[in-house]
Amino acid sequence: MTKEQIVRELYPEDVYRYADKLTQGEAEVLYEVRQIIEKEIRPVINEYWEKAEFPFEAFYKLADAGIMNSPKLFEGRDDKLKASQIYNAFLYYELASFDTSIATFYTVHGGLGYNTILLGGSEEQIEEFGTKVRNFEWQTCFALTEPDHGSDIAGGLATTAERKGDKWILNGEKRWIGGADSADIVPVFARDVEDGKIKCFIVRKGAPGYKADPVQQKISLRCVQNGHITMENVEVPDVDRLPNINGFKDVARILIHTRADVAHIATGVTGGAYKAALKYTTERDQFDRKVAGFQLVQEKLSRMLANTTTAISFSVRIAELMEAGEYEMFNSSLAKMSNSLRMRETVALARETCGGNGITLETDVARFFADAEAVYTYEGSHEVNALIVGREITGMGAFV
């Protein structure tokens, strides 16, 4: 199929045709992603969501599509380590419009973890770690937040690193770390006891003193195994310290990328909820007619489509800016804040248009409705992102 045929089939809700910005190769990879999702993951996703487990076997079928390393993604590109930001935006849209946990697991691996290696690592580390992550030979994650420090992590990070000879000794706790119990390599951020600076260390699977327990009784992102990590005298050789991370400013460079990724996930959740509601209401009969034929329902569907279009617009524009080399926390925070607001409204509208059946997993909207709450909070809560935007537009910081 031509690119135009692919994107029209994949994204009929993209009414302003932003997906036309994709290349032929990028569209083909996304089309293959859709086929794998429908064949391998959709049949099992509700089962895994309900039992709070991640469908690793089905998820790793996505590696067959080459979502991080297909040659089709790098045709005409000088950068051979990362695909284009436009593709990235639509990949997250594709994953999140199916399921938020699948998209979140990927952003931890292919976003947070991979970007940490690319931005913080030496050439040798990028070759060793990055290649295996890109090929899905190794799973990675991102260990920054702690039980007592989330939004204030810049000044409050309490995990310590002490150098002893050619090794570092890590002690402390991390919380909400997706994939912490299954990752092959874990980038752990800790404060150097000597100079007080935040640094990053690659903890390899099976390291003595490292323990990760899944966070239990979640109502959101139930498939994702968020871990509570404890580290007691975990030894990391100096060769596994990422040399280009030497303070929170370096961490912020990673978060600029990831905050944009989460803005894309919010876009996908918005589009997925809209599509699920549209499908249900055009198939469901009440009062001898399709539910979609009622005025109030059409008004809700129209608002959901408008929110989807708004979110896609934010995602595509920030992707264009980042592709041009403009990386600004203000841009990422504005997109994440706005898209998450639109998402939260849309999943609520989708749930109510599906009536009582909207609280079941059968219609898909229940998953979107519950999972949106995690997206609304993670990678900067609404309030934190609003304060970043507020600081930019007023020139006055309102953080405590």
* Digitized pLDDT (tens) for each residue of the chain, 400 residues in all: 999 999 999 999 999 999 999 999 999 999 999 999 999 999 999 999 999 999 999 999 999 999 999 999 999 999 999 999 999 999 999 999 999 999 999 999 999 999 999 999 999 999 999 999 999 999 999 999 999 988 888 889 999 999 999 999 999 999 999 999 999 999 999 999 999 999 999 999 999 999 999 999 999 999 999 999 999 999 999 999 999 999 999 999 999 999 999 999 999 999 999 999 999 999 999 999 999 999 999 999 999 999 999 999 999 999 999 999 999 999 999 999 999 999 999 999 999 999 999 999 989 999 999 999 999 999 889 999 999 999 999 999 998 7
SS3 of residue 81 by DSSP: coil
CA distances from 334 to 93, 136, 166, 328 (A): 18, 31, 42, 10
Q: What is the domain count for the chain? A: 3
Q: In this structure, are strands 185-192 and 160-164 parallel, antiparallel, or unpaired?
A: parallel
- Separation CA 341–CA 303 (nearest Å): 13
- Does the pTM surpass 0.85? The reply is yes
| Exposed/middle/buried for residue 327 (C-beta within 10 Å: 0-12, 13-18, 19+) | middle
Q: Is the dihedral of CA 65, 71, 76, 79 positive or negative?
A: positive
| Same domain membership, residue 344 and residue 298 | yes
| Same domain membership, residue 256 and residue 386 | yes
Kindly state whether residue 141 falls inside one of the protein's structural domains: no
Return all residues near 317 (Cβ < 8 A) that are at least 6 apart.
none
| Same domain membership, residue 265 and residue 379 | yes
Kindly state whether residue 103 falls inside one of the protein's structural domains: yes
Exposure on the CB side of residue 38, measured as CA atoms within 13 A: 8
Kindly state whether residue 236 falls inside one of the protein's structural domains: yes
Kindly state whether residue 145 falls inside one of the protein's structural domains: no
